[in-house]
Structure 1
Amino acid sequence: MRLVAAFFALILPALSFAQNYSIGTGGQSGIYYPLGGALAKVWSDKVEGVNVKAEVTAASVENTIKVVRGDMLAGIAMGNVVLDAYEGAGQFPGEMPVKVLFALYPNLVHALTLQNSGITQLADLKGKRVSLGAPGSGTAVTSAALLKSIGIDPKKDIRAVYLNYSETTNALANGQVDAGFIVGGQGVGAVTQVALTHKVRVLPVSEKDRSKFIAENPAYSSYTIPGDVYNGVGQVDTLSIWNVLVVRADMSDDMAFNLTKAAFENMGDVRKVVKVVEATTKANASRLSGVPLHPGAEKYLNSIN
């Protein structure tokens, strides 16, 4: 009995040492959720003293707020939202204590409609029923900003609803909305799935509209979705914005170093789950200009070739 007691006295502190954390993701029909789950597993397995789970959220804005409050270890978020938080702009009342661990992959603006809707360009959305994305999401921020940029007031000129990815494609398929925005990685599941059962159109963003929008929102860039990424959809010119891992600025350097090291050294496992993180490289780590990398993350990135 004494040996058994001594054994448990030795192992119990080790078992209770790991602290529980969460990583903010998004809805289960997008890319954030499986990516967050893959990162959570890597961190739990490879970083001593942490146990991380993926949390379903409304995505970018909610994740950033929860990271700032200390409710989350890290959050996946669109770069424009993190930049707004850092600068105290947009939906944030003041400058937030945030930094970037590293950039992940570019999100693409999918302005989605059915081919028989008669809608062929963004200007045609005026007066229509349009899903702008889930409340508190980067999609909702981007879609509203893009509409304003082309002269459409989201509060007056359209009948706006706020739905997540799967709700948007279901409403589109059922005729409950005329169009909807999904700002997600290339090949995002919600668009892929609806394109298999319905003839869809991804509305292009014209060169003129892209130039104007990028001048107003320099975190964005132009992007061309290749043909046949989605069933029956040809090449489409649109906008992109990098997704990043946002953390509190006062995260310890050691924690930031260890999280970044574990992620990059096991990125092959993450790519098996989410292909788009082929873009997650040292060269792309600082693709979001305007928000500094965390010093601990930067230390690790500078140590690798």
Structure 2
Amino acid sequence: MLNFRSSLLICFFLSLLLNHAISEERYFMRVGTGSISGVYYATGNAICRFIRKHSLHDNTFNVSCSVQSTPGTMYNLNALRNSDLELAAAQEDWAYDAYNGTGLFSSMQPMSSLRSLFSTHKEAFTVLVRKDSGIRDFDGIKHRIVNIGAPGTGVRGTMEKIMRVKGWTSTDFKLTTELNSSEQVRALCDGKIDVMTTVIGHPSGLFQEASATCSVQLIPLDDETRKKLLLDHPYYYSYDIPVDLYSGLAEEVTKTIAVKSGFYVLEDFSDDKAYKLVSSVFSNFSALQGTHPAFSHITKVDLIPEAGNIPIHPGAKQFYKQIGLLRESVGKAYPK
């Protein structure tokens, strides 16, 4: 009886030690996204669901995933740099500047440890005006009240690049404002601003809200400016907003530029975790497409980052090679 009791005690203590060892191996991953109502937050939650699903049949993928609502790209990249996040959602142009120490990151050391895991959707620079404004093309926004976005936002960075290409400064506008996305529609329809600008994935409820509130129309970016931006910045893509995407907002395709969004880690993120995280996203691709309307037309190829912009994490690269989809940086579709 003593031997039996001793055996039970030994088994009990061994189980405690084993459970303790397993708990020590658990990896806690904080995912930086964006506002609760935005696409980044929805995507972050989807990723955590995919990870939990993957871990059910792979006990070596012991990851505890938590989604954090944040101010967005710039916050996420700086938090990743400071080890306050393990996975960060970001626009590729900002990630490129962080990696190279350029743009708004020029006062910081290049974030050379930044690595891309996968891309998601394209976010297009989009301009909206009231139909009664008399603005018919992009040059028509000069001498008007233009919302250029708050400092540190994607739209502000894009507007500043466009203004440099055009040779414009803030004095070329009657007034510039720094409203956020949720404030712009009301300000536009109330006549407080003449021009609404944003960088956003399409389709977006923002434009459906605008068209339901007042009579508005999309304004394309002129070809000369688009071509210059595409030639000078490797992270920009030519982008067409289909004429039938929003009822009554355009009479033809709206030509503009877009930037990809994606998820990033640091180089010390383990190869095994990177491989399994990307694998879990690809294994649940149909569910990812249903996460947000902006994902409805993406393909698996769209998820693979451009290798020439920011290095792909080796674990992610291993997965892409395995499925035969790894590509080097490819040429963009420049405007005619």
What is the TM-score with the length of structure 2 in the denominator?
0.80
Residues 1:11 and 1:118: Cα distance change in structure 2 (over 3 Å): farther
Of residues 248-257 and 14-23 in structure 1, the stretch that sits farther from structure 2 once superposed is 14-23
Residues 1:143 and 1:57: Cα distance change in structure 2 (over 3 Å): farther
Q: Does 1:291 align with 2:304?
A: no
The answer (yes or no) to whether the contact 1:103–1:280 under 8 Å persists in 2 is: no
Equivalent of 2:142, from 126, 129, 133? 126
The answer (yes or no) to whether the contact 2:203–2:293 under 8 Å persists in 1 is: no
Number of the residue aligned with 2:58: none
The 3-state SS of whatever aligns with 2:182 is helix
The 3-state SS of whatever aligns with 2:90 is strand
Q: Which amino acid aligns with 1:246?
A: Y
Runs of 4+ in 1 over 6 A off after TM superposition: none
Number of the residue aligned with 1:27: 35
Number of the residue aligned with 2:233: 217
Residues 1:296 and 1:191: Cα distance change in structure 2 (over 3 Å): same
Of residues 72-81 and 51-60 in structure 1, the stretch that sits farther from structure 2 once superposed is 51-60
The alpha carbon displacement at 1:288 in A equals 6.1
Q: Which amino acid aligns with 1:253?
A: D
CA deviations 1:116-162 (Å, max 9, x no partner) are 22222222222333222344222221122112222221476453332
Q: Distance in 1 between matches of 2:119 and 2:84?
A: 21
Higher relative contact order, structure no. (Cα contacts within 8 Å, ≥ 6 residues apart): 1
Residues 1:242 and 1:28: Cα distance change in structure 2 (over 3 Å): same
The alpha carbon displacement at 1:16 in A equals 7.9
The alpha carbon displacement at 1:57 in A equals 2.2
Residues 1:86 and 1:130: Cα distance change in structure 2 (over 3 Å): same
Unaligned runs of 5+ in 1: none
Aligned residues: 303
The 3-state SS of whatever aligns with 2:278 is helix
Residues 1:256 and 1:200: Cα distance change in structure 2 (over 3 Å): same
Equivalent of 2:213, from 185, 197, 201? 197
Residues 1:195 and 1:288: Cα distance change in structure 2 (over 3 Å): farther
Q: Distance in 2 between matches of 1:283 and 1:117?
A: 37
Q: Which amino acid aligns with 1:169?
A: V
Residues 1:89 and 1:168: Cα distance change in structure 2 (over 3 Å): same
1:154-165 to structure 2, matched below 5 A, reads 154=170, 157=173, 159-165=175-181
CA deviations 1:35-86 (Å, max 9, x no partner) are 2221232224424322223322222222111111111122221111111111
Equivalent of 1:245, from 236, 257, 263? 263
The answer (yes or no) to whether the contact 2:123–2:260 under 8 Å persists in 1 is: yes
Number of the residue aligned with 1:95: 110
1:39-118 to structure 2, matched below 5 A, reads 39-47=47-55, 48-92=61-105, 93-96=108-111, 97-118=113-134
Residues 1:159 and 1:299: Cα distance change in structure 2 (over 3 Å): same
What is the TM-score with the length of structure 1 in the denominator?
0.88
The 3-state SS of whatever aligns with 1:273 is coil
Number of the residue aligned with 1:300: 319
Residues 1:255 and 1:163: Cα distance change in structure 2 (over 3 Å): farther
The 3-state SS of whatever aligns with 2:225 is helix
The alpha carbon displacement at 1:108 in A equals 0.8
Q: Does 1:257 align with 2:275?
A: yes
| Alpha-carbon RMSD | 2.7
Residues 1:198 and 1:157: Cα distance change in structure 2 (over 3 Å): closer
Q: Distance in 2 between matches of 1:204 and 1:283?
A: 24
The 3-state SS of whatever aligns with 2:123 is strand
1:167-178 to structure 2, matched below 5 A, reads 167-178=183-194
The 3-state SS of whatever aligns with 2:103 is coil
The answer (yes or no) to whether the contact 1:109–1:240 under 8 Å persists in 2 is: yes
Q: Does 1:270 align with 2:278?
A: no
Q: Distance in 1 between matches of 2:312 and 2:174?
A: 38
The 3-state SS of whatever aligns with 2:104 is coil
Q: Distance in 1 between matches of 2:171 and 2:39?
A: 28
The answer (yes or no) to whether the contact 2:204–2:294 under 8 Å persists in 1 is: no
Residues 1:51 and 1:294: Cα distance change in structure 2 (over 3 Å): same
Identity %: 27
Residues 1:141 and 1:68: Cα distance change in structure 2 (over 3 Å): same
The answer (yes or no) to whether the contact 1:29–1:190 under 8 Å persists in 2 is: no
Residues 1:282 and 1:213: Cα distance change in structure 2 (over 3 Å): closer
Unaligned runs of 5+ in 2: 1-7, 56-60, 325-336
Q: Distance in 2 between matches of 1:280 and 1:135?
A: 33
Structure whose alpha-carbon radius of gyration is higher? 2
Number of the residue aligned with 2:298: 279
